[in-house]
Structure 1
């Protein structure tokens, strides 16, 4: 199952595509692995730098986990005007479905800071009732 959602904040468009990868068992506990690909499009007339990220991950039982840190996948990319940046990452849940949402903190060339919303998207094992 894949799902694509997008949002637009301050002329920065974020689209996310998620996919179920596999089900594992770790010490007798099921572990559901998901991947997601994020495309960040800069529709403004100036370069922006992605400084940090924040994720709120919620599993199918309502348990929440927050993840925050510098950049994405070890990088703080500068996205040129009318340019884009794409990366893939993943997460795991103890349930076959859940959601992710969050935001990026960015700076403009003039060092103005702003927050870009990442739309809430679903993580779901195929044929899973939620």
Structure 2
């Protein structure tokens, strides 16, 4: 499933996927990867300065992560450019969700808070029901 959101002409698209080979349900260890694409659809350059994640597991436990850039990079996106990366997240429950934001700075020095859409982390080890 794909999740997407646009803030100030910057679109963030997320594709999460469960890593069964790196998970061990008997030890309450569940691993996901997520692929992110950031598109600059605006008229000025923007640079990703920092990230914020709010990760919630299936029991409602919350972990917050803040840091510079993404995967060791602070990409500069000119108008029309995109940047992609893949990262991962472990949980102690078979499901959860996460979302967050990127702090970016425009070519004229304006700080922009770009929303990363909240996305679900669903493993095959949890039954799903439709309400």
State the TM-score bracket (shorter-chain normalisation): over 0.9
- State the partner residue of 1:58: 56
Question: How far 1:29 sits from its partner (Å)?
Answer: 2.9
- State the partner residue of 2:41: 43
- TM-score with structure 2 length normalisation? 0.92
Q: What secondary structure, in the 3-state scheme, does the structure 2 residue paired with 1:110 have?
A: coil
Q: What secondary structure, in the 3-state scheme, does the structure 2 residue paired with 1:75 have?
A: coil
Q: Distance in 2 between matches of 1:87 and 1:102?
A: 16
Question: How far 1:124 sits from its partner (Å)?
Answer: 1.0
Q: Distance in 2 between matches of 1:90 and 1:69?
A: 15
Counting helix residues as a fraction of each chain, which structure ranks higher?
Answer: 2
- State the partner residue of 2:24: 24
- TM-score with structure 1 length normalisation? 0.93
Q: Distance in 2 between matches of 1:129 and 1:14?
A: 29
- State the partner residue of 2:109: 111
Task: Structure 1 unaligned segments of length 5 or more: list them.
Answer: none
Q: What secondary structure, in the 3-state scheme, does the structure 2 residue paired with 1:89 have?
A: strand
Moved over 6 A (4+): none
Provide Cα deviations, 1:15-68, integer angstroms capped at 9, x if missing partner.
00000002226xx73200000000000000111000000000000000000000
Task: Structure 2 unaligned segments of length 5 or more: list them.
Answer: none
User: How big is the alpha-carbon RMSD for the aligned residues of Structure 1 and Structure 2?
Assistant: 1.2
Question: How far 1:126 sits from its partner (Å)?
Answer: 2.2
- State the partner residue of 1:71: 69
Provide Cα deviations, 1:39-98, integer angstroms capped at 9, x if missing partner.
000000111000000000000000000000000001000011011000000000000100
Counting strand residues as a fraction of each chain, which structure ranks higher?
Answer: 1
